[in-house]
Structure 1
Amino acid sequence: MNKSKTLPKRSEIPDQYKWKLEDIYADDAEWEKDAAKVKELIEQVKQKQGTLSQSGKHLLEVLKLQDELSMLVERLYVYARMRRDEDNTNSTYQALSDRATSLSIQVNSALAYIQPEILAIPDEQLRQLLQSEPGLDHYRFLLEEITRYKPHTLSAREEEILAQASEVANAPATIFGMLNNADITFPMITDEQGEEVELTKGRYIQFMESKDRRVRKEAFEALYATYGKHKNTIAATLAAVVKRDVFFARVRQYPSALEAALFGDKIDKSVYENLIATIREHLPLLHRYIGLRKKLLKLDELHMYDLYVPIVQEVEMRIPYEQAVATIREALRPLGDEYGQVLEEGFTAGWIDVYENQGKTSGAYSWGAYTTHPYVLMNYQEDLNNMFTLAHEMGHALHSYFSDRHQPYTYAQYRIFVAEVASTVNESLLMHHLLETTSDRQVRMYLLNYYLERFRTTLYRQTMFAEFEKLIHERVEAGEALTAESLSTAYRQLNVDYHGPEMVVDSEIDLEWARIPHFYSNFYVYKYATGFSAATSLYKQIIEEGEPAVTRYLDFLKSGGSDYPINLLKRAGVDMTSPEPIRAALTVFAELLSELESLTESGA
């Protein structure tokens, strides 16, 4: 695509670069037919309320209706939202998207009685229902999942009270979001050209990557000075959200807030603790990388605002879309013919919406409905980062494709705990291929630094966040107060520990906890680190073992949500209950670091 000063209209994008949403619905009239059908099914499912315990046949009928209704509304919702994403200024699809959202809410409301009714069935009676109706065998794992919550489910009246309290319980996160996204304003700073520009959260990372150290320092100090003015308010919102987590965990009789958060994925807290312990064991590796960063930047002191500036001179890598496709196709050859054939279909059969156009949703994602192939939204720019994004999103897409083709709807959806595995395996294989086919010293250094930064920001940084979350929840559970001062002291010590002796830990970074929205989604960030570790371990096995590892990996992709994440990964060859996958990932980090150190020495 030729670059121009203005974005093209949707109609000006060639068809071969657009996704084919007609594969979901041939036209909007077909959408309307399914929308009418959803309303009929909603009435049918409502009429079944109160019947689930009467017989195995009644229970089976409702579970089948739930699947049919959920599958249909998913298809309606996905089509409407992706049509809107093509051009958000299109009022037709704004309206269709709103209708799909409304239908989705109606469906969720109609299905809401099913889980409580199942939980109310005594264990012995549920066993009898399963024995009396062979068709229920299909739902055995689903029913096991639901009944696992029985020890943590309260009376109907108590559950109703907790449900009504949820809006109040979410207030701290809402307040933080409004403060962080709407009310906080940042000062002007002077950019590289000497121009006065407003600091924004969006521009902050750009300033942190500036080659002008004055700009980095000024942006860093201005950002945290602004958060510092609100530190007591933000400490209060964070303390309130931690108290919320502890309250719900105690009311539902979980041993701790951490174990309550891990219960849904059936993850033992040792997995969380292993991650932190293993990363701490390998902090000297990060300290080595920090030392190399200081050396390559030729600084007497490395400060926190020096962490994001590239340490290798940027290499001009213009990568047109067709070249990116060809490179990814070649890089993923180790995954075998079956994977390669589906990948080719994805590249050629209307799965991908490639280029930016006026009104199009920004960013990138993979999405789709169970009854059709997956889709990928891109806003492709001709650079290395966009090629990696394409490989990443196609990893998600093929995970969904294999899950949907090999699992019934009930078990097709994979969990967040494993969601980033397939995408990261693709990125790792792409990086491996680029390093295998690149001899230019400067390009190799650039690629190595690019990959090392992924380790630093995903494996080390997210684990530091996870350790902070664990610490502040334990303090509240022990009856301690969380104040701006105590939060800053704890956060500072983590930065000192993680970044090591070569880093000057500036006092401003003590307040970084005040700007991290993930801390309002309890015990979520650790999944980035575990997913990255699992993916890196699998990538190593694929490269070193070949076909046996590929077979295990494809079986994992085909498993969807048919078992708990830990079990699925074990069968793939990754035991996340042990520290070994994390160690394997850190071995890759060490190898990359050694090569970059060696190339640095050879060019000195």
Structure 2
Amino acid sequence: MSEIKQLPKRSEVPIELTWDLSTIFKNKEAVNKAIAELHPRVNELVKLAGGLDKDSNSLLTAIRSELEIESQLERIYVYAELKNDQDTSNNQNQALKDQVTSLVAKVSAKLAWFEPEILAIPKATLEKYQENNTELKPYQHYFEVLNLKKNHVLTTKEEAILAGAGSVFEVSSNVFGILDNSDLKFPFVKDEAGEAVQLSQGVYSTLLQSTEQSVRKEAFEQLYAVYEQFKNTFAMTLAGEVKVHNFKAQIRGYKDARQAAMSANAIPESVYSNLITEVHDHLDLLHRYVGLRKKILNLKELHMYDLYTPITGKSPLSYTYQEAQKEAKAALQIMGSDYVGHVEDAFKNRWIDVVENEGKRSGAYSSGVYGTNPFMLLNWHNDLDNLFTLVHEMGHSMHSYYTTHNQPYQYGDYPIFVAEIASTTNENILTQYLLDKYDDPQIKLFVLNHYLDGFKGTVYRQTQFAEFEQFIHETDARGEALTAEMMSDYYGKLNHRYYGNDVINDSQIKSEWTRIPHFYYNFYVYQYATGFAAASTLANGISSKEPHARENYLNYLKSGSSDFPLNVMKKAGVNMAEKQYLEDAFAVFEKRLNEFEALL
């Protein structure tokens, strides 16, 4: 009888495959000390309330104090998040996260007066302060960003109430996270070798790439059988999150939640609508690719679980984690020695939590805090897709590294809108590297297939998600109930529109919305699609060694939030206010689809 493969417990994972969080805090005692030190600093700042307009020095002192508090609070919060994500079933980790979530809400409530008081300072007075006090000049863009909120900031009392309710607003998202990552129990299924493996998010994505349709089908049906048991609960958590977004937008005087989310970074809503329009105009390319998949796989019926297996059969490329490190460094050499040097630091100094373990958060991400190294969460499997995930998250981490080492704290982060550009630029560079490296037609076919699937999953699929996200927010805003049945019905029809008649619209796919954590992120997913499209242009310039392309790209990584996102990207060479960058991306997709067909 074959051995059943189970996930290791956290304590069983080799330490060299775990991240080293001691660069944030050495232990729980250090966290407690930081929390204890925070309270008197907050109280000292509160004493300054009502006097920020006294003179330029008073304003400068208050801003510096607030940013120091924000920095310390961020360190505590990120540490708690990372500890919890490495094992969501650990009660101590859960307790720390809950404690810190409450702390954030309390501090936010105490400091709710801060931004309204700055915004109450007359524009002429604020300009005079900046003119007369050179130490305020580095905060010019800080004031510009703050001014975006001017017409949407409430009274100090109302802001305090909202801030104090922060942990309440996070309940739906937190319940989803615990249910999805910890409480759901997935069954055992058979892999290609006939061995029993326990389903998880990572195992599921690997099995969907199997060349055996029976393996793909069983993984698909068994996974969704679990989610469908709890579809009404997931409908309640998602509806609760949507209500929070709509409530906050309404109370602040925005037209809707989408406008509220996008205006924070001065992104015009036309960017969102341009994306959906352009994707709709190019659905014929997706339908053509899907039809090609059905033909090459020689399937009478193409199902949703057949969309992730390589068309060209079993992968000719696979990588252990150690092999993937070497390949990632080789692919990224084109970024220059300084960039690759920091990539080596990530591998050598335990910036990465590599393998799956029981209770670990699914998926992958890059996180971090100003003043420490970035951190990456992976759930490693030995395949090409995980190599792409590694360079994707490395793109985020290098973005964080360059930003925090070139910007002061107030600009030491970057908005989500530009974040996905760094990660998907790396993906595009890896694709070109592999196409240039190998002459073997089978490998080229596989890499092209991977690119086409990546484009499908990032541009088309994330735009599909964006449409669904807009629909559920608009539905709730009209006062209609977001039931499981209603959301599933809409999602199923939307899925059929995107993939066309060549794919069987399996009944299970209607429930896909139940397992997408990004729907709790408030109009986040569209930025994957816009980011991938912009990255296509940037990566092409770097790979082609166009003059200043790499220099402009590295300057973008160093910019952080020192300017509005559209301005940062314009300097890097992409105008995302127009449609051209999207059309260019679809042109690359069509070109590589043509290459793929020709090689076949």
How far 1:414 sits from its partner (Å)?
0.9
Residues in 1 aligned to 2:360 and 2:179: alpha-carbon distance in whole angstroms:
25
Residues in 2 aligned to 1:391 and 1:5: alpha-carbon distance in whole angstroms:
27
Residues in 2 aligned to 1:247 and 1:102: alpha-carbon distance in whole angstroms:
21
Q: 8 Å contact 2:109–2:163 — kept in the other structure?
A: no
Residues in 1 aligned to 2:13 and 2:192: alpha-carbon distance in whole angstroms:
36
The aligned residue for residue 497 of structure 1 is 497
> How is 1:189-338 mapped onto 2 (pairs within 5 angstroms)?
204-205=204-205, 208-217=208-217, 220-221=220-221, 235=235, 238-239=238-239, 241-321=241-321, 323-338=323-338
Q: 8 Å contact 2:105–2:165 — kept in the other structure?
A: no
SS at match of 2:339: helix
Residues in 2 aligned to 1:181 and 1:354: alpha-carbon distance in whole angstroms:
16
> How is 1:415-430 mapped onto 2 (pairs within 5 angstroms)?
415-430=415-430
Residues in 2 aligned to 1:336 and 1:330: alpha-carbon distance in whole angstroms:
11
Change (3 A) 1:57 1:515: same
How far 1:6 sits from its partner (Å)?
11
Residues in 2 aligned to 1:539 and 1:479: alpha-carbon distance in whole angstroms:
44
SS at match of 1:311: coil
Q: 8 Å contact 1:56–1:130 — kept in the other structure?
A: yes
Aligned amino acid, residue 389 of structure 1 = T
Residues in 2 aligned to 1:13 and 1:178: alpha-carbon distance in whole angstroms:
25
Aligned amino acid, residue 523 of structure 2 = F
Q: Comparing 402-411 with 227-236, which one deviates more in the overlay?
A: 227-236
Q: 8 Å contact 2:411–2:562 — kept in the other structure?
A: yes
Q: Comparing 368-377 with 397-406, which one deviates more in the overlay?
A: 368-377
Percent of matched pairs sharing the same residue: 43
Q: Comparing 568-577 with 545-554, which one deviates more in the overlay?
A: 545-554
The aligned residue for residue 557 of structure 2 is 557
Aligned amino acid, residue 408 of structure 1 = P
> How is 1:102-117 mapped onto 2 (pairs within 5 angstroms)?
108=108, 111-117=111-117
Q: 8 Å contact 1:315–1:442 — kept in the other structure?
A: no
The aligned residue for residue 403 of structure 2 is 403
Say if 2:516 is the partner of 1:513. no
Residues in 2 aligned to 1:386 and 1:278: alpha-carbon distance in whole angstroms:
29
Q: 8 Å contact 1:329–1:343 — kept in the other structure?
A: yes
The aligned residue for residue 546 of structure 2 is 546
The aligned residue for residue 451 of structure 1 is 451
Residues in 2 aligned to 1:374 and 1:341: alpha-carbon distance in whole angstroms:
14
Residues in 1 aligned to 2:129 and 2:252: alpha-carbon distance in whole angstroms:
27
SS at match of 1:370: coil
The aligned residue for residue 148 of structure 2 is 148
Residues in 1 aligned to 2:303 and 2:168: alpha-carbon distance in whole angstroms:
41
Residues in 2 aligned to 1:81 and 1:471: alpha-carbon distance in whole angstroms:
30
Higher-Rg structure is: 1
The aligned residue for residue 584 of structure 1 is 584
Residues in 2 aligned to 1:526 and 1:564: alpha-carbon distance in whole angstroms:
18
Residues in 2 aligned to 1:80 and 1:568: alpha-carbon distance in whole angstroms:
31
Residues in 1 aligned to 2:367 and 2:118: alpha-carbon distance in whole angstroms:
31
The aligned residue for residue 570 of structure 2 is 570
Q: Deviations over 1:200-229 (max 9, x none)?
A: 766654554454434544554565566666
Q: Comparing 48-57 with 567-576, which one deviates more in the overlay?
A: 48-57
How far 1:389 sits from its partner (Å)?
3.2
Q: Comparing 268-277 with 545-554, which one deviates more in the overlay?
A: 545-554
Residues in 2 aligned to 1:99 and 1:166: alpha-carbon distance in whole angstroms:
13
Change (3 A) 1:227 1:43: closer
Q: Comparing 402-411 with 369-378, which one deviates more in the overlay?
A: 369-378
SS at match of 2:544: helix
Change (3 A) 1:45 1:478: closer
Residues in 2 aligned to 1:220 and 1:531: alpha-carbon distance in whole angstroms:
29
Q: Comparing 580-589 with 240-249, which one deviates more in the overlay?
A: 240-249
SS at match of 1:392: helix
Q: Deviations over 1:167-209 (max 9, x none)?
A: 6655655666677667777788787788998877666545544
Residues in 2 aligned to 1:174 and 1:457: alpha-carbon distance in whole angstroms:
26
The aligned residue for residue 339 of structure 2 is 339
Q: Comparing 89-98 with 577-586, which one deviates more in the overlay?
A: 89-98
Residues in 2 aligned to 1:160 and 1:428: alpha-carbon distance in whole angstroms:
45
Aligned amino acid, residue 268 of structure 2 = D
SS at match of 1:49: coil
Residues in 2 aligned to 1:128 and 1:245: alpha-carbon distance in whole angstroms:
37
Aligned amino acid, residue 397 of structure 1 = S
Residues in 2 aligned to 1:451 and 1:386: alpha-carbon distance in whole angstroms:
14
How far 1:252 sits from its partner (Å)?
2.0
Gaps of 5+ in 1: none
Q: Comparing 244-253 with 168-177, which one deviates more in the overlay?
A: 168-177
Change (3 A) 1:279 1:321: same
How far 1:433 sits from its partner (Å)?
0.9
Change (3 A) 1:340 1:112: same
The aligned residue for residue 48 of structure 1 is 48
Residues in 1 aligned to 2:227 and 2:93: alpha-carbon distance in whole angstroms:
39
TM-score, length-scaled by structure 1: 0.82
> How is 1:478-493 mapped onto 2 (pairs within 5 angstroms)?
482=482, 484=484, 486-493=486-493
> How is 1:99-138 mapped onto 2 (pairs within 5 angstroms)?
108=108, 111-138=111-138
How far 1:280 sits from its partner (Å)?
1.0
How far 1:596 sits from its partner (Å)?
2.2
Q: 8 Å contact 1:319–1:384 — kept in the other structure?
A: yes
Q: 8 Å contact 2:407–2:560 — kept in the other structure?
A: yes
Aligned amino acid, residue 400 of structure 1 = S
SS at match of 1:597: helix
Change (3 A) 1:6 1:526: closer
Change (3 A) 1:555 1:381: same
Change (3 A) 1:509 1:84: closer
Change (3 A) 1:103 1:275: same
Change (3 A) 1:158 1:71: closer
Q: Deviations over 1:401-448 (max 9, x none)?
A: 221222111111111111122122122212211111112222222222
Say if 2:410 is the partner of 1:432. no
How far 1:74 sits from its partner (Å)?
4.7
Aligned amino acid, residue 496 of structure 2 = V
Q: 8 Å contact 2:275–2:582 — kept in the other structure?
A: yes
Residues in 1 aligned to 2:473 and 2:356: alpha-carbon distance in whole angstroms:
45
Say if 2:466 is the partner of 1:466. yes
Residues in 1 aligned to 2:368 and 2:547: alpha-carbon distance in whole angstroms:
29
Residues in 2 aligned to 1:486 and 1:18: alpha-carbon distance in whole angstroms:
42
Change (3 A) 1:522 1:543: same
Change (3 A) 1:554 1:476: same
Residues in 1 aligned to 2:63 and 2:192: alpha-carbon distance in whole angstroms:
61
Residues in 2 aligned to 1:347 and 1:476: alpha-carbon distance in whole angstroms:
45
Aligned amino acid, residue 294 of structure 1 = K
| RMSD over equivalenced CA pairs, Å | 4.4
SS at match of 1:595: helix
Q: Comparing 325-334 with 234-243, which one deviates more in the overlay?
A: 234-243
The aligned residue for residue 529 of structure 2 is 529
Residues in 1 aligned to 2:20 and 2:181: alpha-carbon distance in whole angstroms:
35
Q: Deviations over 1:552-602 (max 9, x none)?
A: 1111011011112121111111111112222222222222222222222xx
The aligned residue for residue 65 of structure 2 is 65
Q: 8 Å contact 2:346–2:352 — kept in the other structure?
A: no
Q: Comparing 135-144 with 30-39, which one deviates more in the overlay?
A: 30-39
Q: 8 Å contact 2:435–2:447 — kept in the other structure?
A: yes
Say if 2:593 is the partner of 1:593. yes
How far 1:130 sits from its partner (Å)?
3.5
Change (3 A) 1:9 1:297: closer
User: Alignment length, in residue pairs?
Assistant: 595
Q: Comparing 44-53 with 454-463, which one deviates more in the overlay?
A: 44-53
Q: 8 Å contact 2:74–2:369 — kept in the other structure?
A: yes
Change (3 A) 1:376 1:262: closer
